[in-house]
Chains A and B, each alone.
Chain A
Amino acid sequence: MVEVSPAPLRLVVDDERALRPRPGASVPVVESEAQLRSLLRGLAGVDAVGAEARAAKLATRSLKRETKRAAIDLALSMVDLTTLEGADTPGRVASLCAKARRPDPEEPDAPAVAAVCVYPDLVATARAHLAGSDVRVASVATAFPSGRASRAVKLLDVADAVAAGADEVDMVIDRGAFLSGRLGEVFDEVVAVRQACGPAHLKVILEVGELVTYDNVRRASWLAMLAGADFIKTSTGKVAVNATLPATLVMLEAVRDFAESTGRLVGVKAAGGIRTTKEALRYLVVVNETAGSAWLDPALFRFGASSLVNDLLLQRRKQRSGAYARPDRVSVD
C-alpha cells in the first residue's frame, strides 16, 4: 500500500503536484482478513491531542468578502438536504425537493443543493419531485441507523432503494463487528453493498461517534475505501456525537493519502450537527488545507444537514445586502 520510492532523500524534486498519485499507484486487492488487518494496523497512528489542535487552529481562519460569498455558495451546493424521521411523509419530501431545487425563492441564482437524502420508501417520491433537475436522490439503507440486521436484509434494503431510483446509497458499517475486530466481515459487507448499488454511488457511514478513537476512524476510512466506497461519511446523525471537525480532518487525511497511493479519489461527507454557516465554512477550510482544492467540489465533499441550508441562505443575503434578513424570509421545512 505504501510504496517506498527509491528517490534520494531530499525535498527538491521536480514539479510534482502533491496529489498526483505516485507511479504505479493502484488500489491493493484485499485477499484475506489477515492481510486487511495488517494493512490497517500498518497505518500511522493519530495523536488525538495533535489532531484536535490542528482542527482548532484551522477553525480560526477568517473568510471574508469574495471568499466568503463563494464559500457560502459552494457549501450550499454541497448539502445533502436530509430528512430521516419516522414522521416523514410524501408531502414533507415533496416540499424538501422543492427547496432543494430552488433553496431561495427570492434569489434565483442561489445554487441548488447536491442531493435530497431520504429513507428508501420515499426514494420514489423524491425521484418524482426532482425530475428534470440535477439534484440527486440519496437514500440511507442497510438497516440505517443501527445496521443491526442480517446481511440479506441489508442487501434487500439497498436493492429496494436503487430500484426506486436512488443515485446514491448511504450505508452504515457494522460498528459492532468493527469494534470486536471482525474486519473481514465489515469489509465483505461493504463489498456486497457496493455490488448491490450497481451504478449508484456508495457512501459508507463510519459512525465516528461510536468508533470513538481517531485511530479507529482512520482504519475504518481505509477499510471502506479499500472495499470500494465512493464516499466516506462521518455519522448517521442519530447518535450523541456526530460530525466533528477533528474526525473529519482525519478522514480527509485518509482520502488524500488513499488518492496518493492508489490514484482513486474518494469523497467525504460530514453529517450531523452542522447547523451554521460558520461551522460549514470551517469544514471547507479543513477540506481546502487537508485534502486540497480538488475536494472543494460536491462530487467529493458533502454536508449531511437540513437546518444548515437556511442559515447559509440568511448569510448569503447578508453578504449581498449588508443586512440580516428575518428568519421568515427563508422557508421552514
Chain B
Amino acid sequence: MEERPASTLSALEYDPAPESAAVARLRESYGLFIGGAFVEAADGATFETLNPATEEPLARVARAGEADVVTAVAAARRAYDKVWRKTTGAQRSKYLFRIARLIQERSRELAVLESLDNGKPIRESRDIDVPLAAAHFFYYAGWADKLDHAGFGPDPRPLGVAGQIIPWNFPLLMAAWKLAPALAAGNTCVLKPAETTPLSALVLAEILQQAELPDGVVNIVTGDGSTGAALVASALDKVAFTGSTEVGKVIQRRLAGRPTRLTLELGGKGANIVFDDAPIDEVVEGIVDGIFFNQGHVCCAGSRLLVQESVAEEVLRRLRRRVDQLRVGDPLDKNTDVGAINSAAQLEKIRELTAWGEREGATRYTSPCALPERGYWFAPTVFTDVAQTHRIAREEVFGPVLSVLTFRTPDEAVAKANNTTYGLACGVWSEKGSRTLWVAERLRAGVVWANTYNRFDPASPFGGVRESGFGREGGRHGLEAYLDV
C-alpha cells in the first residue's frame, strides 16, 4: 500500500504514565516497632531515607541503638514465652492468612512506597515484589498447622527468638521471606531492614497491627550496620541474614562458639549459559530479565552470560537491540523497565567496577538511553571480550552490568560457570532436555533455572552454596531454618 494515512506514527513514544506518589501515604517520620507499638529510639536518634530517583528526602526514621535492640529482643522473648509458643499451628495460620490478605488489600500503597524508597520500577514492585510477598505469607500460612508432615519428624519445635537482617534490594519481599516461615514455625522475630529502605517494613508493621498479631511477636528495628551488629550480639536463638558475603562472614565469626543458629543468603555471580540450540528470542528476554531486573540489584542475577561461540554473534546483536529498547527513568512510570540505583554508595561501587572492566580490556557497550539529571542512575551496560580473570567476571557488581564470555563445549561451559567463589544461581538455555539436565547436575549453584531466569515462587526453595551462603528459604526446606531439627 503506497498511500500512507496522515495518522501514521513514526514510533510509539509512550507519554508518561506515572503512578501517583500520594498513594504511598508517606508520613514525615516513622518509629521503631517494638512490643506491638511504634516508639521513638531511646536516644531520640533518627536518620533520613531518600528517594534515589530524585535524591529528595522521603521521611525521617528512628535509628535503633543498642538499648532499643535489647528492648526489642526482650519483647520478642516475652512474646515467645508467654504467647506465641503456646499458640496452635491453626492459630498461627490464621494470623498469616490475615497478613497475606492485608498485603493484598494495601498492595498499591506498598508498591508505590517500595518504588519511592528503593528506586525500582513500579511495574516490578506492583507485579512481582508485593504479590510475591503476599504469596509467601499465604504459602507458609498453609504449613503452620502441618509441621508434623514437613518431613522433620513429629511435632518439630521452633527455635525461639530469631534476629533477621534483610537487604535493600527487595525490602518488603525479603521481610516476607524471613517472617513468614519463622512465624509459621512458631518463632518470634526481630527484623532489621536495610538502612536505605526502611519504609515498607514499617508499613508491614502496621499491617501486623491490623492483623492483631500479638504484641512482640514481630519487632522491627530500623538503623544502619551498627543496629544490625547490636542485633547479632543479642541473646538470639537464630540469626538469618541476607546481604553481602563480606558482612555474612563477619556475622558468622561473631556467632562462632554461640548456640545461635545461622542461615546466610549472600552474594552471587550467576552464570546464564546459552547453548546454540536455545530459543533465541526467549534467550534475549532471559538475559535481560537475568541482569536488568531490579537494576541488577539481585543476588542471584545472571551477571555472567556464557554463550556458545557459534551463536554468540547473533545473540549479542539481538541483545544489543533489546538493551537499546530498555526504558530507564522514573520508577513510578508504569512503562519504566529500569529504575534508579538504590544509593550513591552503590552507584559509586558500580562505577568503580565498570571502570575496572574497561581498564582490564573488556569492550563496553552502554545503552544510549537518556538519564535523568538528578538521582542515582546507571545505564544498562554490557561488557564483551571479558576474560575469567577480569574483576567484572569475578566480583559481584550488583548493578545493571552484564559480562559476556563465550564457550565452545558443554564441559567448558560448566567449568567456567563453576569458576567462581559464589554458588547461588545459574540459568541454562537449550531446547535439548538431556543437555539441560546434564549441565544442571554439574553446576555448583543452589538454584538452576532452565529456559528462564529470575523466576521465584514461595513453594520453591532458594539459597546458595559456597560463598553464597547456606540454608534455604521458601518451600518445605525453608521451614527447616526455623525449626529445632
The answer, among A50, A285, A297, A298, for a CB contact under 8 Å with B286, is: A50
Give Cα A9–Cα B362 distance, bound, in whole angstroms.
Answer: 12
Are B364 and A12 interface neighbours, CB within 8 A?
A: yes
Binds A, one of B13-21, B76-84, B157-165: B13-21
Are A73 and B1 interface neighbours, CB within 8 A?
A: no
Chain A residues, CB < 8 A from B277? 44-45
Please provide the chain A residues from 274 to 294 with a CB less than 8 Å away from any CB of chain B in the complex: 284-285, 288-289, 293
A39 sits at the interface (CB 8 A): no
Are A9 and B451 interface neighbours, CB within 8 A?
A: no
Give Cα A12–Cα B312 distance, bound, in whole angstroms.
Answer: 14
Please provide the chain B residues from 375 to 418 with a CB less than 8 Å away from any CB of chain A in the complex: 382, 384-385, 406
Chain A residues, CB < 8 A from B320? 11
The answer, among A47, A64, A112, A288, for a CB contact under 8 Å with B282, is: A47
B452 sits at the interface (CB 8 A): yes
| A54 → B minimal CB distance (Å) | 5
The answer, among A10, A18, A201, A293, for a CB contact under 8 Å with B9, is: A293
Give Cα A293–Cα B365 distance, bound, in whole angstroms.
Answer: 23
A49 sits at the interface (CB 8 A): yes
B146 sits at the interface (CB 8 A): no
Chain A residues, CB < 8 A from B285? 50, 53-54
Chain B residues, CB < 8 A from A306? none
Give Cα A10–Cα B312 distance, bound, in whole angstroms.
Answer: 9
Chain B residues, CB < 8 A from A9? 309, 312-313, 316, 384-385, 406
Known A10-B384, A61-B335, A62-B17; contact A296-B12, beta-carbon cutoff 8 A: yes
Q: Chain B contact residues (Cβ within 8 angstroms of A): what range?
A: 35 or more
Are A50 and B279 interface neighbours, CB within 8 A?
A: yes
| A320 → B minimal CB distance (Å) | 14
Which single residue of chain B is at the shortest CB-CB distance from A52? B282
Chain B residues, CB < 8 A from A297? 4, 8
Which single residue of chain A is at the shortest CB-CB distance from B432? A45
Are A296 and B16 interface neighbours, CB within 8 A?
A: no
Please provide the chain A residues from 296 to 310 with a CB less than 8 Å away from any CB of chain B in the complex: 296-299
B3 sits at the interface (CB 8 A): yes
Chain A residues, CB < 8 A from B13? 67
Mask: chain B, 411-441; 1 = CB below 8 Å from A; 0 = not: 0000000000000000000010000000000
B273 sits at the interface (CB 8 A): no
Chain B residues, CB < 8 A from A111? 5-7
Q: Chain A contact residues (Cβ within 8 angstroms of B): what range?
A: 35 or more
Are B363 and A12 interface neighbours, CB within 8 A?
A: yes
A74 sits at the interface (CB 8 A): yes
Chain B residues, CB < 8 A from A175? none
| A96 → B minimal CB distance (Å) | 19
Chain A residues, CB < 8 A from B99? none
Which single residue of chain A is at the shortest CB-CB distance from B282? A50
Give Cα A76–Cα B8 distance, bound, in whole angstroms.
Answer: 11
Known A44-B279, A298-B1; contact A12-B452, beta-carbon cutoff 8 A: no
Give Cα A34–Cα B432 distance, bound, in whole angstroms.
Answer: 23
The answer, among A45, A50, A288, for a CB contact under 8 Å with B452, is: A50
| B362 → A minimal CB distance (Å) | 10
B297 sits at the interface (CB 8 A): no
Which single residue of chain A is at the shortest CB-CB distance from B430? A45
Are A296 and B11 interface neighbours, CB within 8 A?
A: yes
Are B382 and A11 interface neighbours, CB within 8 A?
A: yes
A326 sits at the interface (CB 8 A): no
Are A51 and B316 interface neighbours, CB within 8 A?
A: no
Are A4 and B316 interface neighbours, CB within 8 A?
A: no
Please provide the chain B residues from 1 to 58 with a CB less than 8 Å away from any CB of chain A in the complex: 1-17
Chain A residues, CB < 8 A from B365? 10-12
Give Cα A71–Cα B364 distance, bound, in whole angstroms.
Answer: 36
Among B3, B127, B278, B321, the one with the most A-chain Cβ atoms within 10 Å of its Cβ is: B321
Are A5 and B313 interface neighbours, CB within 8 A?
A: yes
- CB-CB nearest 9 A-B residue pairs: A50-B282, A293-B11, A11-B365, A62-B17, A47-B279, A47-B282, A62-B334, A73-B7, A44-B280
A and B contact pairs by CB, cutoff 8 A, 20 listed? A2-B314, A7-B313, A9-B316, A11-B365, A44-B277, A46-B282, A47-B431, A47-B451, A47-B452, A50-B286, A60-B127, A61-B334, A64-B17, A65-B15, A74-B9, A285-B12, A293-B10, A296-B8, A298-B4, A299-B4
Having A62-B334, A112-B5, A285-B12, one finds 13 other A-B pairs with CB under 8 Å, namely: A9-B312, A10-B365, A44-B279, A49-B451, A50-B285, A50-B451, A62-B17, A70-B12, A77-B5, A111-B6, A134-B5, A288-B12, A293-B10
